[in-house]
Structure formats: C-alpha cells, structure tokens
Amino acid sequence: MLDTPADLAREREEETACDRIFREFMAGVTRFEELVDGGRRFLTRLRQELEYFRRPRIPVESDVIGEIVRSNCTDRMKSYLESGCSLHCQSISNLSQLNSCEGELKGCIHKVKALLEELQCLVEGAYDATLTANLRGMHVPDESTADNCREEKGEQPADHLDSDSSLVTLMILIHNMLKLDYTMQEKIAGSLSLKSSSAELDGYCLMWDLRPYAEGDVMNLAWKSCP
C-alpha cells in the first residue's frame, strides 16, 4: 500500500529531527577547518618574517666574499655592513608584516572560539532532542502497541533513536577534539614574540600541521554519517 502524504511528511520529520542538527554541526566543522588553514598560513608567514631578523651577517672573512666586498666598497655597501646587513626600509616593512600576521592569526583564534560556542549549542540541542525522544520511547506500554503509540505521539522508531544517539555521541567527540585543537592554537599564538627561537617556531608550525588532538578516523566516520 502506498504511503499517504501524512505518512511521508511524518517520515521526513523523523529523518530530519537530529540529522538536520548534525548537518549544521558538520557545516560548522568545515568552517573550523578553513580557519585552521588560514591560521596556518599566517603562522608560516610570521615565522618567515621573524627569521628575517636572524639572517647572518655577511662573512667578510671568506676570501671570495671579502674580495667582492673590497671591489664594491661603496658608501652604500659600508652602511649596509655597519647596520648589520639590514636595510632600514626593509626592517620597517618587516615589522609591519609581523604585526599584520600576528593580528590576522589572533583574529582566526577569536573566530574559532566563537565557532566552538556555536557548536556547543548544537551539541546540547541534539542531546536534548534525542533524550526527549528516548524518554518518550520508554513510556510505550508493550511491543504490540508500540507502533500505534509512536504514530499517535509522533515518536521515532527504536532504530532511528539508536542512530540519533550515535550522532550525538559523535558530535560530542568531535567538539571535544576541536576544543583541544583550539586550546593548542591559542597557546601557540600567545607564545609568539620577537624572542621566539627558530626551533620554537619550527615546533609551533609542526604542531599546527600535525593537529595531534584531531582523530582522522572519527572525522571520516562523521563525514560518512552526514545525511
């Protein structure tokens, strides 16, 4: 027998109750990933600009370089050597780039924090909806009348409740992972300074790329579960 329009509408309502929240949650995860990529670019640029200040002096002790310097010993070359092999205009530009990268990086961190709060609200909404549905399911008097009671109350079948519970659990796991990832990024951004060593900068960039708190298997499962 063909389903009536009312039956189809009820099925669509059951399918989208928790799934809709999960889709919105995963859209937020996508934005999180975009912000992480943006932060990585700014961190890399900031490291490059900081390394500019650590460029070694020209080794005039070298026979080859010494000869080049002596044969081009102009006033401009003397000033360049005396200034520590740096140009004033380049230093000003470099400092400007550093400030810009630092500001952009902290801007990404601020957006990630706000996004995590949105995701937390979605997790709580999905949890409350699933808990309510499960509590209703517990009040069904016996199995023989279960289907009729669910139809009357608009309740979801047991298999769908199990699916929703799995989605909520998945959302909680992912939110916790992203929160740890954010905490790491926030600490990295807060530790950056002109005194940060090359080894520290390399470590920061490596940890940002590795993202040790993000479990790839969990994320793959989440994307496969996205309706």
Question: Has residue 128 got a pLDDT over 70?
Answer: yes
* Per-residue confidence (pLDDT) for residue 70, from 0 to 100: 67
**Distance between CA atoms of residues 191 and 200, nearest Å:** 9
How many separate domains does the chain show?
Answer: 1
Nearest alpha carbon to residue 123 among 180, 179, 184: 179
Question: Has residue 26 got a pLDDT over 70?
Answer: yes
- 156-215 per-position pLDDT tens digit: 555 556 778 889 999 999 999 999 999 999 999 999 988 889 899 999 999 999 999 999
pLDDT winner (highest mean) among 6-15, 71-80, 89-98 = 89-98
Q: Which amino acid is at 28?
A: G
| Band of pLDDT at residue 66, cut at 50, 70 and 90 | low
The percentage of the chain sitting over the pLDDT mark of 70, rounded to a whole number, equals 64
Asked whether residue 196 is assigned to any structural domain, the reply reads yes
Biggest CA–CA distance in the chain, Å, is 101
Asked whether residue 61 is assigned to any structural domain, the reply reads no
Asked whether residue 96 is assigned to any structural domain, the reply reads no
Asked whether residue 55 is assigned to any structural domain, the reply reads no
Asked whether residue 14 is assigned to any structural domain, the reply reads yes
**Distance between CA atoms of residues 103 and 109, nearest Å:** 10
Asked whether residue 191 is assigned to any structural domain, the reply reads yes
**Distance between CA atoms of residues 103 and 195, nearest Å:** 17
* Per-residue confidence (pLDDT) for residue 60, from 0 to 100: 54
The percentage of the chain sitting over the pLDDT mark of 90, rounded to a whole number, equals 46
| Band of pLDDT at residue 21, cut at 50, 70 and 90 | very high
Average pLDDT over residues 43-56: 82
Which has more pLDDT, 132 or 199? 199
Helices 216-225 and 158-191: angle between axes, nearest 10 degrees = 140
* Residue 219, domain extent: 5-43+102-225
